[in-house]
Amino acid sequence: MAIVRYTAGSELTPEEDAEMRAQVRAAAQRSYSYDPDCPLMTEKQLSEFRPVNFDSMEERTAAMRQGAAILEAAAV
């Protein structure tokens, strides 16, 4: 599929809009192709994801410190 670039402030013509919509519909119909460089994640890996949005800056700071500690421990 070709790379599509959008320039801010420019509107698509009706023909371009129809072509983009057709490309999106065609892409949605294609089956998933596995990438050997990025294998599917296991259920355990997926369960380890945590949200990156925090309720407060204190919560964010604590998470960042915990992440730094994990990285330091892994480097040893």
Q: Which DSSP category does 54 fall into? A: -
For tokens 């040893």, the residue is 76
Q: Specify if 72 maps to a domain.
A: yes
Range of the domain at 67: 50-76
Q: What is the pLDDT of residues 23-63, one digit of tens each?
A: 999 989 988 777 888 888 899 998 888 777 888 889 888 88
pLDDT of amino acid 1? 60
Q: Specify if 67 maps to a domain.
A: yes
Q: Specify if 26 maps to a domain.
A: no
- Number of residues that this document lists for the chain: 76
Any bridge partners for residue 35, and if so which?
Answer: 38
Q: Specify if 39 maps to a domain.
A: no
Number of domains the chain contains: 1
pLDDT of amino acid 43? 93
Q: Specify if 11 maps to a domain.
A: no
Q: Specify if 55 maps to a domain.
A: yes
Q: What is the pLDDT of residues 2-24, one digit of tens each?
A: 776 767 777 888 998 899 899 99
Closest to 19 measured CA to CA, from 32, 35, 2, 31: 2
Give the CA-trace dihedral at 63, 69, 74, 75, to 10 degrees: 130
